[in-house]
Amino acid sequence: MTPSPLALMRPFRSFPVSALARRFAVLALAALALALVAAGCAHMPRMLGGSGNVEMRLDGEQQHEARVPAGSLLALDMRDPGLSGYVFAGTSFDPVLLRLDGIEPFEDGRRVRYTFTALAEGECDVVIKIRKPEPNLRPDIFKQVKVTVTK
């Protein structure tokens, strides 16, 4: 015969728990909840107080996806291809959905940040191309981000 779950819990109920231990447990849970709320604010919807801006670090993979609310900023950070002997060879995107606000080097020139503003709802690809700085070489896709602009 299998014992009931309550019968299995009986030995654990016999441990005395002091009031101090209970207070500590409550304070620890409250601190954990506060830390989780603070960490979640960066991902909170704008109507609940979040910024809506999206920052992506495009390391490793060539293809990425992003969801950004209309009116918010989209920042795409990536390694500078010049470190490997390449140069940027153009960027394509839908200008009805996104506006390119700037291309800036940072981290002492080791990284580059593309900043866009999301203008209208829809979906498009941001394609960033590179090439070797030699004549007659065809550009290659360096990074491709499928962007969905939401309300």
Residue 4 within a domain: no
- Note down the domain range covering 27: 18-48
- Residues 112 and 43 reside in one and the same domain: no
CATH of the domain at 100: 2.60.40.2020
Task: Report d(CA 55, CA 78) in Å as an integer.
Answer: 11
Number of domains comprising the chain: 2
Structure tokens at 19: 């009031």
Per-residue pLDDT of the chain (151 residues; tens, 9 = 90+): 666 665 655 655 555 667 776 776 666 666 665 555 554 544 444 444 456 899 999 988 999 999 999 999 999 999 999 999 999 999 999 999 999 999 999 999 899 999 999 999 999 999 999 999 888 889 999 999 999 999 8
Q: Which of 66, 70, 36, 44 is nearest to 54 (CA)?
A: 66
User: How much is the pTM?
Assistant: 0.65
